[in-house]
Structure 1
Amino acid sequence: MEFKTTKPLILASASPRRKELLSLLGVPFEVKTVEIDEEDIFGCSPAELVCNIAMEKGLAVAEYNQHAIVISADTMVFLDDEALGKPKNAEMAKLYLRRLSGRTHTVITGVSIYFEGICNVFFEETKVTFYKLTDEWINSYVASGDCYDKAGAYGIQTAGTLMVEHINGDYNNVVGLPIAEVYRELMNLELLEMKSAGVQYDN
């Protein structure tokens, strides 16, 4: 299967994980980002918060790329509706993991798609349950450095997956981009289409 977009495609995220997932569509795209201050963005619910951040990320790029489709996303971990962001240091990472130990948390990714002055936004939720973690495991994992630059202080696509007892929902959403839903949104918006396969004839 091969696809093509109706306009140039831009990913407004520097995340290598999102870049890898968007590459699954098999269409060319550029990466362009603009730094925003996420601390000044609020929402009345966890889903609204991540969607608002995703929209701000995308808007900063879309304003200067009106000719393109701009996709942006934000992923956050919530425990009892409290956001656990990217840990600033080892102690914060250990605190997050102790709190997540043996419990179920929610990972929400907000995705915005800008095109022709329009913003289409949606979110995906996945429930993730951790095994009970020992202090030895937590200390070792944090020392590995895998906890940094990841919401909730873990990466499900790396060694952090060893902490996961089970998930309920989209795995790729936890990685950082619910690519199956992104595909469906692009198709519904008629921004993505399947390339026509060449007809083969028997001699």
Structure 2
Amino acid sequence: MTITAKLCLASASPRRLELLSSIGVVVETRPVDIDESLRHGETPSEYVARLARGKALAGACLSTLPVLGADTVVVHQGRVLGKPQNREHAREMLTALSGTSHEVLTAVALSGPVGLLERCVTTRVCMREIQEREIAAYWATGEPEDKAGGYAIQGLAAIFVERIEGSHSAVVGLPLFETAELLQRQGVPLWTAMS
């Protein structure tokens, strides 16, 4: 028996797809391409919320299902750290994060029958001191290449994280507690694939 998708994910992120699957949401993926440039004067929370909203609205043009858009940024000392451009850029970011705390902001926007619903979740991540040799070895794994801030908390970089204050799933890419609330308000069933 085929289970019909109940949600459109406006992203190609395997992490977001896995997180939605973990709560039994049946998803179709329709990645969208929007301008992700940081605008002059835009705060990190305004930036991440705009991207999530833009993805949800762009996806709504491609699907009749409710559409979820999300975006995650790492913010260190007020500066947005994107995906590393190369090895040296990753080294600079991880060196800056080493032995300090930073914020991870994940915004979720869900377009559906009750309009556009949005949430933004902030989690504080405290990193231990990371040695230069560890940074080099971590880069060599390939894991940090497409990750905001140059690390994946759900992967090998978990050993760098001393503690977090907030939502672990939000740091991975989707705050499940808040996302589930938005999905229920839009009438998207949870646990479908599990029954």
TM-score normalised by structure 1 residue count: 0.86
CA 1:76–1:124: 2 relative to 1, 3 Å: same
Cα distance per residue 1:133-188 (max 9 Å; x no partner): 1111111111221111000000001101010011001000000000121112222x
Aligned residues of 1:42 and 1:52 also touching (Cα < 8 A): no
Letter in 1 for 2:165: N
Unaligned runs of 5+ in 2: none
Greater shift, 177-186 or 89-98, is seen at 177-186
Cα distance per residue 1:69-109 (max 9 Å; x no partner): 10110000000110000001000000000000000000000
Question: Do structure 1's residue 191 and structure 2's residue 187 form an aligned pair?
Answer: yes
Corresponding residue number in structure 1 for 2:129 = 132
Corresponding residue number in structure 2 for 1:10 = 8
1:95-106 matches, cutoff 5 A: 95-106=92-103
Aligned CA RMSD, in angstroms, stands at 2.1
CA 1:14–1:96: 2 relative to 1, 3 Å: same
Corresponding residue number in structure 1 for 2:168 = 171
Aligned residues: 189
Identity %: 39
Separation of aligned partners in 1, 2:103 and 2:78: 8
The Cα of 1:119 is off from its aligned counterpart by 1.2
Aligned residues of 1:34 and 1:60 also touching (Cα < 8 A): yes
Letter in 2 for 1:24: S
Corresponding residue number in structure 2 for 1:29 = 27
Separation of aligned partners in 2, 1:136 and 1:9: 43
The Cα of 1:190 is off from its aligned counterpart by 4.6
Separation of aligned partners in 1, 2:151 and 2:108: 21
1:1-203 matches, cutoff 5 A: 8-39=6-37, 44-65=42-63, 67-116=64-113, 118-187=115-184, 189-193=185-189
Separation of aligned partners in 2, 1:167 and 1:117: 33
| Other structure's SS at 2:15 match | helix
Q: Which protein is bigger by CA-based radius of gyration?
A: 1
Unaligned runs of 5+ in 1: 196-203
The Cα of 1:42 is off from its aligned counterpart by 6.2
TM-score normalised by structure 2 residue count: 0.90
